[in-house]
Chain A
Amino acid sequence: MFFRRYWFLLVPVTVFLAISFLWPLASMLVGTVYSLGKGLSLDLYAKFAGDAFYRSIFWRTVKLGLIVTLVCILAGYPVSFYLSRLGGRRKAVLLALVIFPLLTNSVVRSYSWMVVLGRNGFLNSLIRWAGFAKEPFAMLYTPFAVVVGLTHLFLPLMILSLTSAMENIDDGLMEAAQSLGANEVRVFLRVVVPLSMPGLVVGSVLVFTGSTTAYVTPHMLGGSRVMTLATLLYQKAMVVFDWPMATTVAACSVLLTAAVIWGLNSISRRMGVRT
């Protein structure tokens, strides 16, 4: 119609995002490779990569992200399949149960896991009551606690992505496979899983990038013993005021996020999956 008369409606958003998003990000990221005094240099990245402590945090973050993504895939598939075949009231209830944690504050969710995993928490009381052990297990402030907390945080995203892909699978395809003699497991593995690939790719990107950049959960459930890139970034910026290193850590988590999105997209394109 009359776009020439309406383009100005796009201006306020563009200006706001330019000031409060694009400019701060760009100037910070550029600052890690270019400064007025020194010109172009990769010194900060060399320092990051050359330090065994930083490297160990980087790889721990990647490892945690991979484990959480894998757990979410394994736990998410059956639920999503069940959810995608449901209808009516039951579906609404199950969907609400999945979405409710997603909209709950992450501080509340991490705190609730502190109560479950703590020394005098739910699990240790249960173990003591059942007589399995006298001494409480140290579960809090371990990588295990962080994995549990992150899985709790991001599993709903995986379930929703997978469900949205599976809802598009025609029932007829599954019935055809069954009538041709495939059992349910085979139908699931050979029909449902391949056709849900777009949801798997989207879900994995969301879960991996979310869990490698989450701050609250590693901070509250992992503490200083299980540092990740996010908690390192906060410490460098707000505790020791080492801004050059803080911005480099930030850039590294952006690079990690970008690499994963790019990698998964190109793998799925090669496999002929449309996302």
Chain B
Amino acid sequence: MKAGKAGKLFMVASVLVCVFLLFPMIVIVLSSFDPKEYMSFPPTGFSLRWYRHVFNVELFRVGFKTSIKVALISTSVGLIIGVPAAYTLVRFDFWGKATLQSFFLSPLIVPGIVLGCALLKTLIISGGLPIYYGLILGHIALVIPYTIRVTAASLMNLPVSVEEAALSLGATEVQSFYRVVLPNIKMGLLAAFLLAFITSFNNVPISLFLSGPNVTTLPIQMMIYGEYYFDPSIAALSVMILLLTMSLVYLVERTIGLTYFTASH
């Protein structure tokens, strides 16, 4: 379409929306350097005081460790059981395939807060499972849709003929999977890992219900801390998380490309 006045209007609207999306984050970056005891705007000076403070708060250290551990374990398990499932779903046609596929993706549709509540009630309260295991099980359910969907997308781009070539040259099926299939979907696997990791790391609703002494993830600790203190340490911690997120976005762009998010699944 020829761009005229309306075209410019669309551009202006896009710029405004981007400003809306980014400016609270810019405000939080500026506030994080404020030396004052409570948050206000504009900042009164420049100091790294609250960045140091973040590392001294026990709650944050423990929360960060828990979050990383839970994200690593659930993402690894999600990949180990998700990749073979994705492979089977992409390569074979069988009765009930569509149903199974939507079952695997259904944790995406169910509200997280409902799942969190259900996990606490059935697994912990009625089932007597320790909270930590419930938390990990919940996060595995959470990341499975991501590991399956992203892996399946990259498997679909790998022609079956490549595997058939390996088989006809004498490779066993297991060999062909490890030596031919896996190296070819490396980027997809990395992207699946990144998306699953960030999904688990960012999760609040499930972690909110499955939290207890020494099993509280970082986002929950931040919420608890924010209810009692209004100093800029949360802003400083937020900036660190923003940097982590930025590097993940960069890695996703380098692996599967950000256009993955606009491709129809």
Interface residues of A (CB under 8 A from B): 1, 3, 6-7, 9-10, 12-14, 16-17, 19-25, 27-29, 31, 75-76, 78-79, 81-83, 85, 92, 94-109, 111-116, 118, 120-122, 125, 152, 155-156, 159-160, 163-165, 167, 171, 174-175, 178, 183-185, 187-188, 209, 213, 215-216, 219-220, 230, 233-234, 237-238, 243, 246-247, 250, 253-254, 257, 261
Task: Give A28 to B80 CA distance when docked, in angstroms.
Answer: 29
Extra inter-chain contacts (7) besides given A79-B14, A112-B25, CB under 8 Å: A10-B100, A17-B103, A79-B10, A99-B261, A100-B246, A108-B25, A122-B41
B202 neighbours in A (Cβ, 8 Å): 103-106
Task: Give A261 to B111 CA distance when docked, in angstroms.
Answer: 13
B241 neighbours in A (Cβ, 8 Å): 104-105, 108
User: Would you call B180 an interface residue if the criterion is a C-beta within 8 Å of the partner chain's C-beta atoms?
Assistant: no
Q: List 16 A-B contacts (CB under 8 A).
A: A10-B100, A16-B140, A16-B141, A23-B122, A27-B122, A99-B258, A103-B245, A106-B202, A155-B17, A184-B2, A209-B111, A234-B209, A246-B117, A253-B111, A253-B113, A254-B111
B144 to chain A, nearest CB (A): 6
A274 to chain B, nearest CB (A): 11
| CB within 8 Å for A215 and B204 given contacts A95-B261, A107-B223 | yes
| CB within 8 Å for A24 and B118 given contacts A108-B241, A215-B205, A234-B113 | yes
Instruction: Indicate if the CB atoms of A7 and B88 lie closer than 8 Å.
Output: yes
A118 to chain B, nearest CB (A): 7
B122 neighbours in A (Cβ, 8 Å): 23-24, 27-28
User: 10 shortest A-B CB distances, which residue pairs?
Assistant: A213-B111, A78-B13, A112-B24, A184-B6, A20-B137, A120-B40, A9-B84, A12-B81, A24-B122, A24-B118
Instruction: Indicate if the CB atoms of B41 and A94 lie closer than 8 Å.
Output: no
Instruction: Indicate if the CB atoms of B235 and A121 lie closer than 8 Å.
Output: no
B17 neighbours in A (Cβ, 8 Å): 75-76, 78-79, 155, 159
A237 neighbours in B (Cβ, 8 Å): 117, 120-121, 209
Task: Specify the chain A residue showing the minimal Cβ separation from B124.
Answer: A24
Task: Specify the chain B residue showing the minimal Cβ separation from A256.
Answer: B111
| CB within 8 Å for A100 and B245 given contacts A17-B141, A107-B223 | yes
B68 to chain A, nearest CB (A): 14
Instruction: Indicate if the CB atoms of B81 and A97 lie closer than 8 Å.
Output: no
User: Would you call B157 an interface residue if the criterion is a C-beta within 8 Å of the partner chain's C-beta atoms?
Assistant: no
A114 to chain B, nearest CB (A): 8
User: Would you call B59 an interface residue if the criterion is a C-beta within 8 Å of the partner chain's C-beta atoms?
Assistant: no
Q: What bracket does the count of chain B residues touching chain A fall in?
A: 35 or more
B94 neighbours in A (Cβ, 8 Å): 3, 7
A261 neighbours in B (Cβ, 8 Å): 109
A19 neighbours in B (Cβ, 8 Å): 137
B106 neighbours in A (Cβ, 8 Å): 21
Task: Specify the chain A residue showing the minimal Cβ separation from B12.
Answer: A78
| CB within 8 Å for A118 and B39 given contacts A10-B100, A17-B141, A216-B223 | yes
B60 to chain A, nearest CB (A): 12
B248 neighbours in A (Cβ, 8 Å): 103
| CB within 8 Å for A95 and B258 given contacts A100-B249, A184-B7 | yes
Instruction: Indicate if the CB atoms of B140 and A20 lie closer than 8 Å.
Output: yes
B22 neighbours in A (Cβ, 8 Å): 97, 100-101
Task: Give A28 to B107 CA distance when docked, in angstroms.
Answer: 16
User: Would you call B82 an interface residue if the criterion is a C-beta within 8 Å of the partner chain's C-beta atoms?
Assistant: yes
| CB within 8 Å for A164 and B264 given contacts A24-B119, A103-B249, A107-B204 | yes
A99 neighbours in B (Cβ, 8 Å): 249, 258, 261
Task: Specify the chain A residue showing the minimal Cβ separation from B1.
Answer: A174
Instruction: Indicate if the CB atoms of A104 and B235 lie closer than 8 Å.
Output: no
Task: Specify the chain B residue showing the minimal Cβ separation from A161.
Answer: B262
Task: Give A229 to B31 CA distance when docked, in angstroms.
Answer: 32
Task: Specify the chain A residue showing the minimal Cβ separation from B133.
Answer: A20
Instruction: Indicate if the CB atoms of A16 and B223 lie closer than 8 Å.
Output: no
User: Would you call B253 an interface residue if the criterion is a C-beta within 8 Å of the partner chain's C-beta atoms?
Assistant: yes
Instruction: Indicate if the CB atoms of B92 and A3 lie closer than 8 Å.
Output: yes
Instruction: Indicate if the CB atoms of A184 and B14 lie closer than 8 Å.
Output: no
B263 neighbours in A (Cβ, 8 Å): 164
A-contact bits for B112-141, CB 8 A (1 contact / 0 none): 111101111111011000000000011011
A81 neighbours in B (Cβ, 8 Å): 10
Question: Which of B4, B141, B198 interacts with A184 by CB under 8 Å?
Answer: B4
Instruction: Indicate if the CB atoms of B40 and A92 lie closer than 8 Å.
Output: no
| CB within 8 Å for A184 and B41 given contacts A155-B21, A253-B113, A254-B111 | no
